[in-house]
Structure 1
Amino acid sequence: MHLISPVRPEEAMQRLLAALEPIADKLQVIPRKRMTWTYKGRPQLYFFIEGELSILRASDGLLIVTVYEAHLFGIAEMIQPTKGHILRTEAESTLLRIDAERAAELISRQGLWEEVAAVLSYHTAYLFYRDALVVQQRTYSVIRNHLLEMITLPEQTRMRISILDYIQDRTLLSRSSVLNVISALKRGGYINFKRGGYLQELKSLPESF
């Protein structure tokens, strides 16, 4: 069964953006730039505006999620710093950097903690969703779930990252495991991809293979 990702809290995100933008520094960030949660020794929030941004697990670089729409990061680190994750731009991106202490004061003053809770709840739900994609699943199920996720991406994004790279960045599966399944799906007529492994089309994928 295809897993359904949680729904983004669009209205809460927009209210937070409207409140935080006036106190933010606007950044144009080059591709593959890594950012941590502090700037000049002070905790920061980052509001992603445009481009492509990933969250990586700091311990091993495992890719947790890539976002393409406006999104606020750093709230959890502001409240309970763990430094377990880092940010990385995948394409040229526009971000707002906001001092966390100033942000917390503004959020309290404008009564926006309900919006903050909505964003944190979404992040928690997404982590459960991601675990369902990869934890205690058979190799084929993990690959199938990621293919179904990948086909929903914009075509220009799919033409920039191969199926193999997309899945290996997000899982601990070996190169041979992924390629064996992809090759079998190709032979079965379930999948089409360009030279280099760039996903073009998915037909109805079997539940098991």
Structure 2
Amino acid sequence: MDTNSGPDLSTPMLKPTEAINKLIVAFRTESVPVEIKGQDSVIDLQPANGEPRVLLVLEGALNIYRTADNLRFVTAAAPNLFGMQGSPFRYNLYQFRSEKSTVLETLPHSRAVELINEHLLFREVLDFQTYLSDFQAYRTNLLISKSTYQIVRAFLFELEMMPPEQRLRTSVFNYIYEHTHLARSGVMKILSDLRQGEYINIENGKLIAILKKLPHEY
């Protein structure tokens, strides 16, 4: 394994929580609760014969899957927002499914735009849209022309950044597989080698900690 050091630019900017919360405060003056029937309920951002809507994730998380291959694109934890683009094309590319105990509210996209204007939240919208754009570019870059090791390494970093209570409920292999559809044998071999090299601590299939800087190359 190559342990050459250098700046790691493989991850996008941090979620702009302050900007998201300011937008949510403005939107909640008119948003209404979304009825969720259970875990993995599909949430439509553009109901049939209805106006596009903005979705507020107040508690819990949404799992976002690519429609084409059912690959989990991301798990988006609260606080979060979806539907700001108002784009039916984008909505058709992904499917939004609620997690257990997710709390959602919604309002029409047109009214959300009016509230942004009324509260002068243009900077917050720009920060949030930059984050979304960067994250989508990060995911695309991660999964195209990258080795299995580079992909596994990136998802280990994602797991490390999770809140401990969430990380300790998450299977390392399942998390990587659902987001990549990589072959089980290749992923398990890399995880085994990293454990033997004392780079990571995994117990009962869960990531306890990254013990030292992961090599850039396998």
Query: Which category describes the TM-score, using the shorter chain as reference length?
Result: 0.7 to 0.9
- State the match for 1:202 in structure 2: 210
Partner secondary structure for residue 186 of structure 1: helix
Residues 6 and 190 of structure 1: is their aligned pair in 2 closer, same or farther, counting only changes over 3 Å?
same
Question: CA separation in 2, counterparts of 1:27 and 1:171?
Answer: 30
Identity of aligned residues (%): 29
Partner secondary structure for residue 151 of structure 1: helix
Question: CA separation in 2, counterparts of 1:99 and 1:52?
Answer: 21
The alignment of Structure 1 onto Structure 2 pairs a total of residues equal to: 206
Runs of 5+ unmatched residues, structure 1: none
Question: CA separation in 2, counterparts of 1:144 and 1:118?
Answer: 27
Contact 2:57 2:78 in 1 (8 A): yes
Contact 2:200 2:210 in 1 (8 A): yes
- State the match for 2:158 in structure 1: 149
- State the match for 2:45 in structure 1: 37
Q: Does 1:124 align with 2:133?
A: yes
Question: CA separation in 2, counterparts of 1:152 and 1:106?
Answer: 33
Deviations 1:25-58 (A, max 9, x none): 1236432222121236322110111112222212
**1:152 Cα shift?**
1.4
TM-score by length of 1: 0.87
Partner secondary structure for residue 165 of structure 1: helix
Question: CA separation in 1, counterparts of 2:126 and 2:209?
Answer: 38
Deviations 1:152-176 (A, max 9, x none): 1112212222111111111131112
- State the match for 2:24 in structure 1: 17
Question: CA separation in 2, counterparts of 1:115 and 1:192?
Answer: 38
Q: How does 1:26-175 map to 2 (within 5 A)?
A: 26-27=33-34, 29=36, 30-39=38-47, 41-42=49-50, 43-76=52-85, 78=86, 80-82=87-89, 83-175=92-184
TM-score by length of 2: 0.84
Contact 1:133 1:142 in 2 (8 A): yes
RMSD: 2.0
